[in-house]
Structures are given as structure tokens and as C-alpha cells.
Chains A and B, each alone.
Chain A
């Protein structure tokens, strides 16, 4: 759950919100604070300048033009303002009565420039103070001597209780912190909802995928998907379709193999059980054994074919590319079948010229041709005819194998190669026994880069065309 998309999105959104809020609030706080303080300071400065302007110097006497302590500014006990004036020698020339035993700090500054500071009185009252060093005005009528007097510099510090200002700033800070907290909590809630909604389709798809297993590969992901996930969904559905296909083919294949093996097994078992069910003479036992052996040989061939199919499918068969003379291969294969065929009056003609060569894997091509010839020998009608011919077609050699007496329809003929895969359908006599043989032929043909087709003519001639790469000159 830690590494969930939802948590990551949430963490990102919330962190960004908090950072933005903090920066924004700090900026607001600092600018409001600066504005309030400078306003406060400005009023302090004007008081300081008025005060400075009211100081006269007469010789060594410092005189204040009016009674400062009577001004409302310096009398208000609730939000008092204070002043303190120092002579050039550092002695205190005047001070607010309200200061009592406290002293204001003496702030050093350039002449005529007001400097500001923060100060705490002995009673722990915070003050904002403004300091000014100034040349006092000479007393009336003593302008002429101003030259010496002008050098007498006085220092003035004015302070005012700034609890109100600090209170305002504190309130602002709390307001901002509270607002940030509330907005953060709200943003978490909103982001969670948005993320959940946004990831909804993903969750729906994930649930559908989770529900898919080997048993219901037919299911597809049907949940509506946003544009970003659509390709993923489509791809997954394609993948599922492919998987279902493979599974179904595999299942059908297994079922077909089971069927193809069970039927001869049933024959074998029944033949043996019937033979053993009573005492018989030697000839009867012998007949049962001959029948059983024939069944076993058939099964053996089928197992070999199945193994070869499996190996071809697994890509574990190495195929060579030798010069092969089909005429020779067919003659030697036919010699094994000739006797039985002749008994049934079948004529065989190999019309392939001796010098026709193709490029293929000799061993596997022989398996293909043997299966095709066996098939022809078995299904050709009594006194029928089997013909093998070859023709050159560009870079290919086409071997054409035809036999008479075919009872298949054109449609059935085109399906003989996948008869094994269609064992669930009713099959006509010819197809019924082809079983794995023709399926193997087709698979080997594909591995040999050859093509094979089957057709049936009006005259009931079954014709197989095998198109092989021609040998290089």
C-alpha cells in the first residue's frame, strides 16, 4: 500500500500545497509586518522631529519650547509615549515624567537621520524607539552666535509602547497559521477525493483483471477507461484474447490427443478381454494377438507423431537444407507400400523427372511424403490410381500427388490438414482416420518453409500440391 499510486499522488499534492501556502503566508506576513512597523516608525519619527524642533539652546541652557509633559501624547498612561534628551556631554537634559526610574537607550546616528530600534523597559514593556541626533535651534535673537552653538549636538530618543502593534502581528501570525492548517486539511480531503475519483477507472480495471484466471479467460476488461489507460486496456484485452486462443487450442489439442489414444486403447482392451473371456483354440488367440499388435503399432506411430509435433512446436528441431531429389525419395517410400497397393489393384506412377531437385531437410520431407503416400494408398479406391508429378514454378518446385476415389467434398478437402483440431465435429470416413498424420504434415511443411494445399476434382481425384523451394543452380 505504501507504494500505491494514490498515496504518491496524495503526498505530492499535499506537500506542494503546504509549501505554496507557507511561502505565500510568510510573504504576506512579512510585508504586512514591514508596513505596520514603518507606519509606526513614521509616526515616531514625526514626533521626534517635532520634539527636536521645539528644543532651543541658549548658551549652555537647553530649553524646551513647550511643556512636553503636558502634551496628551506623553500623558496617556494606557499607551504611553516617552522621550529622553541628552546633552552633548551625555548628561540627560530632559525626560518624560512617565519614565519613572527607567531610561531610554541612547541611539547613535548621523545628524538629522532617524534610527529605530526595539527596546524593553524595566517593567518589561516593549517599546519601539526612534533616535535622532540634532542641532538645536538657538534661542531667539541669538542668531549671530549660532556658529559656536551650532556645534552643540543633542541626542533625542522617543519611544512608544508597541504592545498594540505586536498584538496585531501576533494575531496576524495566528490567523495565517490557522488558515494554513485549515487549507492543508481541506486540501488533503479534496486531493484524496479527486485522486480516488481519478484513479477509479484504474481500480475498476485492476479489480476486473484480478478476477480473471485460467477458468474465465473469455472475460474481457469492460470498465470505461480514460484516454491514458485506454491503450493499456486494449492491449490487455488483445493479450487475453491471444491467451484464450492458446489455452483453447491447447485444451482442444489435449482432448483430441486423449480421444485419439483412448479409442485404440478401447479396441485393445476389448480385443484382449474378449479373447481371455473363455477357452479358445490357438488360431483364435493368434488372431487376437495379431489384431492387438496392429493396434499397438498404430498407437506407436501416433505417439511418435505427437512427439514430433510437440518438438516442432517447441522449436527443438534443427532443419537442414540439403539437395533432395523427390523422384528418388518417392520411389523408395513407395516400395514399402507397393505390395499392399498392388493387392488392391492400385496403379502407381511416379512422373517426377530424375533431375528435379529441391532444397529441404531430407529427413522431414520424407516424413511428409510418407504420410501423404500412406494416406493415398489407404484411401484410393479399389483398382484406383495414384500419380505423383512435379513442375517448376519460378523459384519453387511443385510436387503434385493425386489419387482417385476421393469421397470428400471440396470444403472437406480443404480441411483435411486440420482434421485433428476438429475432432469434435462429425468427420467423413476419409478424414476420420487421418488423425494426427496430416496435422503433422502441415506442421512440418510450415517448418520447411513449404506450402501445402489439398483439392478435390470433379472426377473424385484428391490432389495435394506441395510447393518446395527449388535448389540453387
Chain B
């Protein structure tokens, strides 16, 4: 899952980016409003974390411009402004959630996960596909009774496919949602990681859980 952090206070921006990356997200970050708007428009993010007081364009301005342009990305406002009027204004302008600084990093993660579940129309904190079960909060994967140990990248890829189970997911989509803007990885990295995942997930002699749709991408079949 790919996130954008727009926050002008450097220590906060950097620690958020670090913590979120460690939690398995691809994170782009910027301290400038106009740059943030440009990022948000040129990439497909799952969640944008938006500070309100920013140089360039302020947070509410970015929110307005994105929503006017029909952007449906989930936006979580992070701000020191805590009055009811401020919250109402932010939510009414189209923000999905509002978190007042200072906040617990755990809570921020939980809210981001909640927004992600909403993005993929699910309220269940775990996803089950056949006998594979993903625990989204704990980022653990089990097949049957066996816990499968995945790297951060592998888990992120499986989670993304599972969130969109039943759909055909293109390589570009995967690349856009899992890799940061500054990442130098090319899109055939996706194929490599699909290979790793299959190796760890699939049982010998049975058809793979992840199906290749020739010329289009991959799909994880829905259903039990």
C-alpha cells in the first residue's frame, strides 16, 4: 500500500515516513504544499496524510483542489488544530479522518489500516482466501495451521492482491501501490516478487493461488 505524507515539520515527517515504511507501506513524503499537491495528482496513493498548515498551499487548499478534481483518495488530516470548527471544516471539505497532534503512532497506523479497508470495501481485519488467512493488523499470514514467514515486500504484495481478490491486478497497479516515487525499481521487480510469493505460499503439486492473466497481470481468486 502506498502512502503520501505532506507535513512541513521535518522531524515529524521523517519519523512518520520511517515508521510507516517499517510497517510495510511505500511512503512518499514532502514538506511543501504545492509539491504535495503535485505528488497526489501524479500518483495513485491509497492514503494521504495531510498537515493543514503548510508552506505553498495549505492543507485545506490541497484537499479542496483534489476533491474538486474528482480525486477519491482517502485523506487523513494530521493537525495541531483541535477545535470542533476545525475538525468539521476539514471533514466537510472531504477529509476521511482527522487526527490531532500529538498522536500515538499506533493509533495513526490503525486509522490508516481502517482507511485502507474502506478503500477495498471490507471491514474485516482479516482476509481469507481458500485456506490462506491474512491478519491485516498483525501482518501475519497462515496457510492452514502453518504460519508463513514473508518479507515486508512480499507481505505488502500479497496484501494488495488479497484486498483486490477476484480482480485482475495489472503490474503497473502493483508497482504504483507498492513502490515509492523515488524508488529505482522497475516493474519487472513485480514478477520477481510474485515468484517469491508463489514459492512460499503454494503447496507442491497444486495449482498456484496467484494466477497469471497473460498480458494483463495477476489475480488472486476469491472464495474459500
Contact = CB atoms under 8 A, between A and B. Distances in A.
- State whether these chains interact: yes
Interface of A: 255, 258-259, 262-271, 273-275, 277-278, 288, 291, 294-295, 423, 425-429, 432
A259 B22 contact: no
A267 B9 contact: yes
Contact of A270 (B19, B61, B80, B83): B19
B53 interface: yes
14 contacts: A258-B80, A262-B100, A264-B11, A267-B12, A269-B104, A270-B15, A274-B16, A274-B22, A278-B22, A291-B14, A291-B15, A426-B33, A426-B61, A432-B55
Q: How large is the interface on B (under 10, 10 to 19, 20 to 34, 35 or more residues)?
A: 20 to 34
A428 B11 contact: no
Given A262-B102, A429-B32, A267 B22 contact: no
Contact of A267 (B11, B81, B83, B106): B11
A426 B53 contact: yes
A258 B22 CA distance: 30
A259 B80 contact: yes
The 5 closest A-B pairs by CB, nearest first: A426-B58, A266-B101, A274-B19, A262-B80, A267-B12
Interface string B1-32: 00000001101101110110010000000001
Contacts of A427: 53, 55
Contacts of A275: 15
A386 to B, nearest CB: 22
B103 interface: yes
Contacts of B8: 429, 432
Interface in B46-96: 53-58, 61, 78, 80-83
Given A263-B80, A265-B102, A270 B12 contact: yes
Given A263-B101, A265-B102, A271 B55 contact: no
Contacts of A291: 11, 14-15
B102 A432 contact: no
Contact of B9 (A263, A277, A425, A428): A263
B120 interface: no
B19 to A, nearest CB: 4
B12 A263 contact: yes
Contacts of B11: 264, 267-268, 270-271, 291, 294-295
